[in-house]
Amino acid sequence: MNKYTNIIFKFKKPLFIFLILTIGFSIAGVFMVKLNTDFSLFSTNDSIYETRILQQEEVFGSLNQIVVVVEHENFDSITIADLHDIQTALGAIPNVTTVQGVAPDQIMSSGSLTDIETLDPTYVKNYYLGFGEFSPLVVDTDTYYSIFNVFITEDFSKTNIHEIEDTLSAYDYQSYISGDTYNQTKITDYIIRILLVLPPLALLVILLVFRWQIGAFKPTMLSVLPAGIGSLWTLGIIGWLGNEVSILTAVVPIFIIVIGSADGLHFMSHYQDSKKEGKNTKTALNNTLKIVGIPMIVTTLTSMAGFLSLLSMSTDSVKDLAVYSALGILLAGIATWYVLPLILSNNINVLPKKVHVKKVDLSKGLKKLWGIPSLLIVILIAFNFFIFSGQINNEFNMLMIYKDSTIVAQNAEKIQEVNGGSIPIYVYVELEGSPLTVDSMNEINLLADQLNSLDEVNKVVNPYALMNIFYQMTFVGEIPSDPIMNVVYTAIAADEQSVIHNLISTDHQVVRLLVFPSDMENSTLFTIENTVELNNTNASVTGVQYLMRDLNVNITTMQINSILLALGVVLLMMVATLRNIKIAVASLIPIVVTVGALYAFLGITGISLNITTVIIFSITIGVGIDYAVHFSSVYKYYVKEGNSRHEAVDKAYQNSSRPIIANALGISLGLTVLMFSPLNIHFNVSILMWVSMVVSVFVTLTLLPTIFRIEKKKK
């Protein structure tokens, strides 16, 4: 360590200049960061459902559409005029191709197209109500709901969403917006809010916790500085490489700040102890690095290993999070070795001005649980694991991402109520002949009837039902022959904005049904898919929900593989570092117990095991092992110093318990800021992190001392 500190002192000035340059370079990169709001990031790689979506887009064009619902109390001439203005304004927004709604320029009247504003409102209302599930007008007692389907291009953006919102806000009607594209685009606003607000808030919380632990402001700032720099470096690299930030990777800066600050806290705590003993700056740095240098390297590597174990999961979004987080933890570790000695070499006073008296010493309370109490609590955790882990569910869909208080969730709920659903499933049927035949109609109607009979289905949009409604405006019964069907189809298709173009392709001999499910649970999606496949061998289902369900059904296996990989890598690191298999295996016990506690907690609370909660397990392994590494390393250090094992346990506990507890509190409280996120997925991460840190610290500071003391008694 002497050689390293000599280099720091000798090349102090150029090292400071290099640090400033890297910070400036990173700040420039932050402004280049791109945002990714595509929900396909929640799917597995090479999903068959994504292939089917692409297949449908080749036939019908982009599936992108937005549903707008306008609520009004009257349906008179004034209201119709307003609705016509709204539909016209929506159609004029850039990247909007067509708008199907309640107030086009003209509708059919007496066999010819007539300006809608010249017609009697009662006629217009009855005209639309005759279209059944195809009606863009829904009447619920004294309230009317006008529905507009807005079809958009791939270039549709957040700016266009704001234009839709501005258009609707110009009228005194309550309005609602929903749809895949809307939900994804609104994510942009949330990601920006998360990036701008939550990381600084997390940093503030950690500063307060560390200030309580260290007792002085300067060392508190220094303890979190490396993690802050590591987070900035990481975002800068992401920006310069042209990579994207999604709703998953948006929390990476928080992870880096919260987790990466552990080494800074341990470093500053030990450095303070050395300075209290009267050592000069250089000697104090050497002594600090001698005690915590290797443990800091190991904790950095184990934290990285926890995240990198997520690379075993076959979804690109999680792999991005794994790489970004691991890179950030590495950079925070490098910054701890680089930045702290560099700044402290200037003889900065890090001692508190007065003796810091703690009113609450949690370490004393934990020490009372050594021995039998710690064993009993671990047994209780194991018991709950075996009882409740089997009750874990893996439900996850796009609406579960948002808190109920968000406008996205509220809009989706209302449109679900009015329209029978806000996000449809697509049933794609490849016919053996022309879709404009009675045989094809009967084939599709049979499938639609089977789907409508399911409790899991609210509504099925069937193009043949639309054609029969059109036919029955003049005749009685269903379309009797192929020639008449061709005439009816031609009449409907004459309107370029007709929904028929999105449901039937005569060129490809394909028909598409829109199915609105009662909910988006895995079992519901399974039932609908099985019904489709059993009743028509040429039919298939797809949709964003199926992309996410594909991940749901595979998440448990991927999670187990990730955990086993992480535990294996961490164990190898521990053996290589501690050079003692018994201590290495013992150090792994707190992590195994914590993982079991998390599984039990998921089963008890009903929080689902999904792509976001899986991340917590990796953090638990990567961060939780840090505490075991720190305690075991310090314990081994005192054993080598000639202390008995009993004395080594006591000294290791006295030396490491406070930093471990403070860091766990810092991480837990730091991630508590995620509760302020508008997204449920971040809220759950915060809750699970508390469980993880509490159990990990408890087992590390009670069970490990118990195990090491038991070994002494055996000898």
Residue 545 has pLDDT above 90, yes or no: no
Task: Report the distance separating Cα 493 and Cα 615, nearest Å.
Answer: 49
Output the pLDDT for position 715: 40
**Helix ranges (DSSP H) in 152-280:** 158-169, 180-214, 217-241, 252-276
Residue 714 has pLDDT above 50, yes or no: no
Inter-residue contact 223 to 214 (CB < 8 Å) = yes
Mapped onto helix, strand or coil, the DSSP state of residue 476 is coil
Output the CA torsion 295→616→317→626 (10° steps).
0
Inter-residue contact 234 to 331 (CB < 8 Å) = yes
Q: Which of 384, 505, 377 is nearest to 440 (CA)?
A: 505
Mean pLDDT value of segment 124-150: 86
pLDDT class of 711 with cuts at 50, 70, 90: low
pLDDT class of 37 with cuts at 50, 70, 90: low
Which of the 8 DSSP states describes residue 402?
Answer: B
pLDDT class of 123 with cuts at 50, 70, 90: very high
Write out the two tokens for 101: 């709604």
Look-up of token digits 């390297």? 297
Mean pLDDT value of segment 216-225: 83
Q: Which of 440, 427, 448, 425 is nearest to 509 (CA)?
A: 440
Q: 60-184 has which CATH code?
A: 3.30.70.260
Output the pLDDT for position 43: 63
| Secondary structure element (H or E) that encloses residue 565, with its range | helix 544-578
Q: Which of 361, 317, 356 is nearest to 47 (CA)?
A: 317
Mean pLDDT value of segment 326-353: 86
Domain boundaries, the chain: 60-184, 409-545
Phi and psi, residue 643, nearest 5°: -75, 150
pLDDT class of 483 with cuts at 50, 70, 90: very high
Listed in sequence order, the residues at least 6 apart from 72 whose beta carbon sits closer than 8 Å to its beta carbon are: 79, 83, 143, 144, 145, 146, 173
Which of the 8 DSSP states describes residue 38?
Answer: -
pLDDT in tens, 560-570: 888 888 788 87
- The b/e string for 325-334 (b: 16+ C-beta within 10 A; e otherwise) is bbbbbbbbbe
Name the residue type at position 523.
S
Write out the two tokens for 673: 């800021």
Instruction: List Cα–Cα distances, 521 to 248, 525, 559, in angstroms.
Output: 21, 6, 20
Average pLDDT in the chain:
84
Output the pLDDT for position 39: 60
Inter-residue contact 603 to 389 (CB < 8 Å) = yes
Task: Report the distance separating Cα 613 and Cα 599, nearest Å.
Answer: 10
Mapped onto helix, strand or coil, the DSSP state of residue 144 is strand
pLDDT in tens, 614-655: 777 777 777 777 788 778 878 887 888 777 778 888 888 887
Inter-residue contact 497 to 409 (CB < 8 Å) = no
Inter-residue contact 238 to 326 (CB < 8 Å) = no
Mean pLDDT value of segment 685-709: 86
**Do β-strands 106-109 and 96-100 pair in parallel, antiparallel, or remain unpaired?**
unpaired
pLDDT class of 709 with cuts at 50, 70, 90: confident
User: Mapped to the 3 state alphabet, what secondary structure does 305-342 carry?
Assistant: HHHHHHHHCCCHHHHHHHHHHHHHHHHHHHHHHHHHHH
Output the pLDDT for position 713: 45
- The b/e string for 156-169 (b: 16+ C-beta within 10 A; e otherwise) is bbbebbebbeebbe
What proportion of the chain, given as a percentage, has pLDDT over 70?
Answer: 95
Say which range, 327-331, 464-468, 658-662, has the weakest mean pLDDT. 658-662
- DSSP secondary structure of 333-392: HHHHHHHHHHHHTT----S-SS----S--HHHHHHTTTTHHHHHHHHHHHHHHHHHGGG-
Residue 1 has pLDDT above 60, yes or no: yes
**Do β-strands 539-542 and 425-430 pair in parallel, antiparallel, or remain unpaired?**
antiparallel
Task: Report the distance separating Cα 26 and Cα 22, nearest Å.
Answer: 6
Q: Which of 246, 269, 320, 305 is nearest to 623 (CA)?
A: 305
Task: Report the distance separating Cα 322 and Cα 305, nearest Å.
Answer: 9
Output the pLDDT for position 357: 52
pLDDT in tens, 229-254: 999 999 999 999 888 777 677 778 87
- The b/e string for 354-386 (b: 16+ C-beta within 10 A; e otherwise) is eeeeeeeebbeebbebbeeebbebbeebeebbe
- Number of Cβ within 10 Å of residue 602's Cβ equals 24
Dihedral sign for Cα atoms in the order 184, 187, 191, 194: negative
Task: Report the distance separating Cα 502 and Cα 513, nearest Å.
Answer: 9
Mean pLDDT value of segment 25-43: 77
Say which range, 381-395, 507-521, 661-675, 684-698, has the weakest mean pLDDT. 661-675
The highest-confidence range among 138-142, 249-253, 672-676, by mean pLDDT, is 138-142
Listed in sequence order, the residues at least 6 apart from 195 whose beta carbon sits closer than 8 Å to its beta carbon are: 245, 250, 253
Listed in sequence order, the residues at least 6 apart from 409 whose beta carbon sits closer than 8 Å to its beta carbon are: 399, 402, 403
Output the pLDDT for position 359: 52
pLDDT in tens, 416-473: 888 777 678 899 999 999 999 999 999 999 999 999 999 999 888 899 988 988 888 7
pLDDT class of 42 with cuts at 50, 70, 90: low
The highest-confidence range among 59-63, 90-94, 347-351, 393-397, by mean pLDDT, is 90-94
- DSSP secondary structure of 76-114: SHHHHHHHHHHHHHHHTSTTEEEEE-S--SEEEETTEEE
The highest-confidence range among 103-112, 335-344, 406-415, by mean pLDDT, is 335-344
pLDDT in tens, 263-281: 887 788 878 888 888 888 8
Which residues share a beta bridge with 149?
Answer: 67, 100
Q: Between these two residues, 144 and 495, which has the higher pLDDT value? A: 144
Task: Report the distance separating Cα 477 and Cα 469, nearest Å.
Answer: 9
Task: Report the distance separating Cα 545 and Cα 50, nearest Å.
Answer: 11
Look-up of token digits 């990990």? 696
Residue 492 has pLDDT above 50, yes or no: yes
Output the CA torsion 378→381→387→393 (10° steps).
-140
- The b/e string for 471-481 (b: 16+ C-beta within 10 A; e otherwise) is beeeeeebbee
Task: Report the distance separating Cα 103 and Cα 147, nearest Å.
Answer: 10
